[in-house]
Amino acid sequence: MKIHQTEDINTEFKTSFSDEVIISLVAFSNAKGGTVFVGVGDNREVKGVTLGKETLAGWLNEIKNKTLPSVIPNVDEIKENGKTVIAFSVAEYPVKPISMKGRYYQRRANANHILSAVEIANLSLQSRNLSWDSYPYEGASFDDLDTNKINRFILKVNEVGRFTLSSEPQQALEKLNMLQNGVPTNAAMILFSKKDLRYNVHIGRFKTPSMIIADKMISGNLYDVVEESMQTIIGHLKFAFEINIKDSNTQRTEISEYPLDAVRELLLNCLIHRDYLSPTDVQIKIFDNSISFFNPSGLYGNITEEDLSTDAYRASTRNKQIAEAFYLTKDIEKYGSGFTRVRREIAAYPTMKFQYRNAGYGFFAEFNYERQKISLEEKSSEKSSEKSSEKSSEKSSEIFSLIAGEPHITIVSIARQLNISTRMVEKYLAKLTSEGKIVRVSGRKTGHWEILDINDRIA
């Protein structure tokens, strides 16, 4: 084994053996594994360690006794510049979390993150391929569920055709494992409870960050919350109208301020992936030219912001039963494709930006724009403009090259070689001149062109 060049998500340097080494091994075990090099400084300066007859055995015994479940790393002895470095390596532990003296850590980027109680619980569920929403709701029974809402759910699932459910509500939920020995799961209660469990969505319309024009708190069964939230959001959005006359028929098309399918996707993302143990509400803020979504839970599992930008990441689902319910009703497509669809939808909005960031306490996503879309043809017009600009730049470069190779070249000759009009050549020459790239020396007929170097242009 060789000593790595820098500290990263899988590498840590320590000058000597201490509890900090064990903390790093625990953090690696609770993430994707990694190596601690003992005898190396932060700047990769090899300091080395001194080993006695029982030194390694003592270190390994200390690691084993201070971790639960016990961590037993692989050990390599490395010689570099006449000094000894010890490398302790661990793989990702299959059953998490592992603790060190009762405290839990996980490797994130190039640092060890101490886990909160909620993060510990989530890591435990994730490692066992379980989710909080699949556990029985304490003190609840089937009578706490609204059968009318279950029946509507069954009807929609069977119409979509991704799955077939019994028309009898109790049997249908048992088949989905949302009813276990007569007790509904957390997911079943969140989706179909008779009573309001107060998992709120707070929607506000703002003029400035401190000036609220209107706000609304929405809670209830999750399917109802989705529809009411969408209606509330739409009520605060601006719409443009495009009039088309064809064959004496007048058609009016509405163009929403934001692509509504993308808005719905981010709303569903908040509700399906939120941490239902958190007391914080889902928050949606609508400004004059932006709309933001705050979900009270950070990214789940090992997904990173960089993964979300690739459209090729493997999804980790915090609430498996809730996600499955929305998949069966076709409110979501395959898991992990939501951000791909969002980017596809906003592609028709030329100035629209989609930004997001993860924090330990939540996930923030936002649409914002410089200019509102007011025409269905705006995207194609924008593309046409871009292509025209690219073509213009290409012609300017060709003329510049011709002049560089033949300073006395005439406008007529340039036009003939590039198959464009002399008027267009004059336009490109004027542009190159204004940009300080070329200059005309002497007269129109007897003079020539000179290329200005960068120093001339700066002067």
pLDDT tens figures, 22-57: 999 999 999 989 999 999 998 899 999 999 989 999
In a domain, residue 127? The reply is no
DSSP string, 411-422: HHHHHHHHT--H
Query: Which CATH number covers residue 53?
Result: 3.30.950.30
Question: Which backbone phi and psi does 312 adopt, to 5 degrees?
Answer: -135, 30
What percentage of residues in the chain have a pLDDT greater than 70? 89
In a domain, residue 403? The reply is yes
In a domain, residue 316? The reply is yes
Side-chain-side CA neighbours of residue 330 (13 Å): 10
What lies within 8 Å, CB to CB, of 364 at 6+ separation is 292, 293, 294, 295, 356, 357, 358
CB 237 within 8 A of CB 214: no
Whether residues 205 and 178 fall in one domain: no
- Across the range 328-339, mean pLDDT stands at 78
pLDDT value for 242: 76
Question: pTM surpassing 0.85?
Answer: no
Q: What does the pLDDT look like over 426-441, one tens digit per residue? A: 888 888 887 888 888 8
In a domain, residue 231? The reply is yes
Among 309, 340, 369, identify where a domain stops.
Answer: 369
Which of 94-98, 125-129, 211-215 is most confident? 211-215
Whether residues 33 and 59 fall in one domain: yes
In a domain, residue 209? The reply is yes
Whether residues 180 and 244 fall in one domain: no
CA quadruple 205, 209, 210, 216: dihedral, nearest 10: 30
Q: Pick the range with the lowest mean pLDDT from 12-21, 123-132, 151-160, 336-345.
A: 123-132
Whether residues 172 and 213 fall in one domain: no
pLDDT value for 302: 67
When pLDDT is cut at 50, 70 and 90, the band that residue 21 belongs to is very high
Question: Which backbone phi and psi does 323 adopt, to 5 degrees?
Answer: -60, -40
Whether residues 75 and 142 fall in one domain: no
In terms of residue numbers, what domain contains 188?
Answer: 133-192
When pLDDT is cut at 50, 70 and 90, the band that residue 189 belongs to is very high
Whether residues 344 and 268 fall in one domain: yes
- Across the range 390-394, mean pLDDT stands at 69
Whether residues 344 and 220 fall in one domain: yes
Distance separating alpha carbons of residues 58 and 56, to the nearest angstrom: 5
What percentage of residues in the chain have a pLDDT greater than 90? 49
pLDDT value for 404: 86
Whether residues 216 and 164 fall in one domain: no
Whether residues 80 and 184 fall in one domain: no
Strand 34-38 to 83-90 pairing: antiparallel
Token pair in block for residue 70: 């016990």
- Across the range 108-112, mean pLDDT stands at 88
Residue 389 CB neighbours (<10 A):
10
CB 216 within 8 A of CB 203: yes
Whether residues 220 and 364 fall in one domain: yes
Number of domains in the chain: 4
pLDDT value for 301: 67
Whether the per-residue pLDDT at 456 is higher than 50: the answer is no
Whether residues 211 and 294 fall in one domain: yes
Whether residues 210 and 345 fall in one domain: yes
Return contacts of 314-320, CB within 8 angstroms, 24+ apart.
316/126, 317/131, 317/272, 317/273, 318/122, 318/131, 318/132, 318/273, 318/274, 318/275, 319/131, 319/132, 319/133, 319/187, 319/272, 319/273, 319/274, 319/276, 320/130, 320/131, 320/133, 320/134
CB 9 within 8 A of CB 107: yes
